[in-house]
Amino acid sequence: MQKRKLGTQGLEVSALGLGCMGMSWAYGPTDEAESLNVLQRALTLGINFWDTAEVYGPFKNEELLGKALKKNSRDKVIVATKFGFIWNEKNEINGTDSSPAHIRKSIEGSLKRLGTDYIDLYYQHRLDPKTPIEETMQALAELVKVGKIRYIGLSEVGPSTIRRAHAVHPVSVLQSEYSLWDRGIEEKILPTLRELGIGFVPFSPIGRGFLTGKIANLNDLEKDDFRQNLARFQGENFEHNIKLVKMVKSIGEKYNVTPVQVALAWLLHQGNDIVPIPGTKHVHYLEENVKSVDVKLPQAAWDEIQQLISTFEIKGVRYPESVMKFVDKSE
Ligand SMILES: NC(=O)c1ccc[n+]([C@@H]2O[C@H](COP(=O)([O-])OP(=O)(O)OC[C@H]3O[C@@H](n4cnc5c(N)ncnc54)[C@H](OP(=O)(O)O)[C@@H]3O)[C@@H](O)[C@H]2O)c1
């Protein structure tokens, strides 16, 4: 698999990463044995960039990756994890904490669960309004200095937070939502990253599964599936939004490319500084997704896709307010 550089500090990863969240959290039933197969198969296919977080489970997803890491030599995998959310006894997220003391506690837990003595890329999961980003970055810089983490990332923050953070210690990666149906980062965030030489990792690159066209309606999903709360998946919005997927599908069919492959290839086509991390807990989906790296479409097809997404109006916000309130709105 081709490699891509993220940031200018030396981080290099496979052009496509693997989102591991759904293996333990958020998207319905989980199957540990199959997830371990996915992780192993990913490595065989050359996908070495695994994305997890302390809060996925909580803790379970890092523990799962720890099991997979045990079977492989540590340096074969680029492990990215995240700190900064806090939750109640029902495991419901109820705040953020990026204070230096909390970071020092979180890193020890993550290292232990992952069974490693260093994390390649350590992201702040969401900005903590109570802790100035400068204090958070200083604490992370200390972790770099002692070798517990190699590179620093941020997630879902705006341009001025990115600039303030980067002034304290180089940020290598920003991770935020970006896909055919969510291009909110294009106007201000992506240009800021490019100016500062920071790499970009799009999460939910296939619209949490919607852009595959394989979800018929919400009844296909379990009652406690996170997507039940998302406006874009509801009733009339679903019926409207699926038209985009059908049009993408018909463009892809001319070149023997599936909708999910178009969605991922389009992201890869946006620049060499972009590494999508599609999530799956199924080997056969992984095998479909990995082929997106080799998709080559003529310029006319890219133009057609661009025209389509620029004119198609997606219905429904990407997050309910209870989740959106954690996203940094700094300009
Ligand atoms: N920083 C953040 O705040 C944040 C937020 C969200 C996600 N993330 C990270 O980003 C990763 C990816 O995002 P995501 O998981 O939310 O969304 P996604 O990658 O857009 O979509 C994942 C969904 O698509 C399905 N899928 C994948 N490939 C498929 C295929 N070929 N055919 C049919 N269905 C397919 C998966 O099904 P199965 O699971 O059933 O295989 C899963 O339900 C996560 O795993 C997580 O690591 C980060």
pLDDT digits (tens, 9 = 90+) for 256-280: 999 999 999 999 999 999 999 999 9
Question: Is the residue at 307 inside a domain?
Answer: yes
Residue 29 within a domain:
yes
| pLDDT on residue 216 | 87
pLDDT in tens, 166-219: 999 999 999 999 999 999 999 999 999 999 999 999 999 999 999 999 998 888
Domain for residue 331, yes or no? no
259 preceded by a cis bond (ω within 30 of 0): no
Mutating to test ligand 1, I would choose from 52, 204, 292 the residue with most ligand atoms within 8 A of its C-beta, which is 204
Long-range contacts of 83-91 (CB under 8 A, 24+ apart): 83/53, 83/54, 83/107, 83/110, 83/122, 83/123, 83/124, 83/125, 84/124, 84/125, 84/126, 84/128, 85/53, 85/54, 85/55, 85/125, 85/126, 85/326, 87/55, 87/58, 91/57, 91/58
Distance 22 CA to ligand 1 centre (A): 6
State residue 215's pLDDT score: 92
**% of the chain at pLDDT higher than 70:** 100
Kindly tell me if the per-residue pLDDT of 73 is higher than 90: no
Which residues participate in catalysis according to the annotation? 56
- Per-residue burial over 312-323, b if 16 or more Cβ lie within 10 Å, else e, is bebebebbeeee
- Residue 45, pLDDT above cutoff 90: yes
* For range 134-161, the mean pLDDT: 98
pLDDT at residue number 83: 98
Q: By C-alpha distance, which of 185, 183, 305, 171 is closest to 247? A: 305
User: What residues make up the domain containing 229?
Assistant: 3-324
Report how far ligand 1's centroid is from the alpha carbon of 56 (Å): 13
Mean of pLDDT values over 86-108: 96
Assess if residue 119 is contained within a domain: yes
Asked whether the predicted pLDDT for residue 137 surpasses 90, the reply is yes
Residue 160 phi/psi, 5-degree rounding, is -75, -35
Residue 330 lies in a domain: no
Nearest atom in ligand 1 to the alpha carbon of residue 214 is 33
Pocket test for ligand 1, best of 18, 24, 27 (most atoms within 8 A of CB): 27
Please name the residues in contact with 81: beta carbons below 8 A apart, sequence gap of 6 or more.
Answer: 51, 52, 53, 54, 62, 110, 114, 119, 121, 122, 123
- Is residue 329 domain-resident? no
- Residue 56, pLDDT above cutoff 90: yes
pLDDT at res. 25: 94
312 falls within a domain: yes
Could you tell me the distance, in angstroms and rounded to a whole number, from the CA of residue 237 to the centre of ligand 1?
A: 20
CA distance 249 to 304: 12
Statement: residue 294 has pLDDT above 90 = yes
Q: What is the mean pLDDT of the chain?
A: 97
Give the chain's domain count: 1
Pocket of ligand 1 (CB under 6 A): 19-22, 27, 51, 125, 155-156, 175, 203-209, 212, 214, 260, 277-282, 285, 288-289
Average pLDDT over residues 289-296: 97
DSSP string, 234-294: SHHHHHHHHHHHHHHHHHHHTTT--HHHHHHHHHHHT-TTB----B-S-HHHHHHHHGGGG
For residues 97 and 23, what is the distance between their CA atoms, to the nearest angstrom? 25
Mean pLDDT for the stretch of residues 215-235? 91
pLDDT of residue 72: 87
On the CB side of 256, CA atoms within 13 Å amount to 3
Q: CATH code at 224?
A: 3.20.20.100
What is the number of the ligand 1 atom nearest to the C-alpha of 278?
Answer: 19
> 27 in a domain, yes or no?
yes
